[in-house]
Amino acid sequence: MKSLHIDTRPDWRGGQNQVLLTLRGLRARDHAVELLALRGGALERRAKADGFTVHGIPPARVRLGGAAALRKLLARGNFEIVHAHDPHGLTAAWLASAHRRTALIAQRRVANPIRRNSVALARYRAAHRIFAISRFVARSVIDSGIEPHRVEVVHEGVELPPPVSHEARRKARGHFGIRDDEILLGCVGYLLPEKGQEALLRALPGIRERFPQCRLLFAGDGPCRKALERLARGRRLDGTVIFGGFIEKIAQVYEALDVFVFPSPAEPLGTSLLAAMSYGLPAVAVAGGGVPEIVDSGRSGILVSASEPQPIADAILDLLSDRARTKRLGHAARETIEHRFSADRMVESTIAAYQKLLRESSG
């Protein structure tokens, strides 16, 4: 198959990592792939460094410029699939009438409903298939007025790293200034009100009453960082909480942690949670959004009922009080990723969905 992928975001987040993993997986299986991405964006740079053919979208005219670029590509390239990975990319594909010339796929990575206006719905109704990253997201798409048979769940995936060696753990913890006798909790993600980081921060004093050697690492940046830093200072935790900002070598975070915490109350799926589990980390997460599709509570992690300080603190204390159980949960978490949420599994599911769509189209 020959496919063209579109992504218009300038920054590097979970969605852009998934696009790059998809491109790599398709190429490794001898499928031809090209990328249409924002000129100067993080995905464009990384995809070019990986040797992919990348076409640029002018930053000042994302939708119209993307549509113009796509028309030229469709005129000279025999693409069987156009896969739009974000809403602006889908708009560009719709404006270029890609759905009239090839099989058009719209990726849906957010759980908020599609806006009920003629333009927003027309873009998604033009797509021959909508890939939802979880059943939770699929329900929101269907509830927005899209026919169920046009929505397909393709779970995201992560690469399975080698087991963390003692040396790698020592170096990673040293990088963040963590002593051998300290317990490091961690949360990876953009710092936003809806991500639940404040609840985790407010849970920390109660945890430290029983485990005073416990520290917390926030890996990520965002609008809430200053407010969280003020809260940490107000709770006299400024020497206990590490605000790492954007971390290029994110593997160091997972290698350094003892427990991963995912306090977001309604996450569409959660690639940082998947990554943490792939490193064999026991996780505490909120039983909302697509998270229950990943974590089997009590077997591969612990789910709490709400993104509130007390339930989060109770679950973390439960883990820290039973190290043998913590180790079992981490082992089961890694097995879950290996068998259900690996990047290879995601790519194979994507290919199967492509082939199914193309068979239907030819029929």
Of the CA atoms within 13 Å of residue 313, those in its CB half-sphere come to 16
CA distance from start to end of the chain: 17
Q: Say how far apart CA 91 and CA 84 lie, in whole Å.
A: 9
Domain boundaries 2-157+343-362, corresponding CATH code: 3.40.50.2000
Helix (H) or strand (E) holding 195: none
Pairing of strands 241-245, 32-38: unpaired
Pairing of strands 241-245, 302-304: unpaired
Residue with tokens 């206006």: 117
Which amino acid belongs to residue 39? R
Residue ranges of the chain assigned to CATH 3.40.50.2000: 2-157+343-362, 166-340
Helix (H) or strand (E) holding 336: helix 323-340
CB-based contacts of 97, cutoff 8 Å, min separation 6: none
Provide the whole-model pTM.
Answer: 0.91
As given in the structure block, the two tokens for residue 291 are 């998270």
Digits of tens for pLDDT over the chain (363 positions)?
Answer: 999 999 999 999 889 999 999 999 999 999 999 999 999 999 999 999 999 999 999 999 999 999 999 999 999 879 999 999 999 999 999 999 999 999 999 999 998 888 877 778 899 999 999 999 999 999 999 999 999 999 999 999 999 999 999 999 999 999 999 999 999 999 999 999 999 999 999 999 999 999 999 999 999 999 999 999 999 999 999 889 999 999 989 999 999 999 999 999 999 999 999 999 999 999 999 999 999 999 999 999 999 999 999 999 999 999 999 999 999 999 999 999 999 999 999 999 999 999 999 999 876
How many beta carbons lie within 10 A of that of residue 78, not counting itself? 8
- Of 3.40.50.2000, 2.120.10.90, 3.30.565.10, 3.30.365.10, the CATH number of 166-340 is 3.40.50.2000
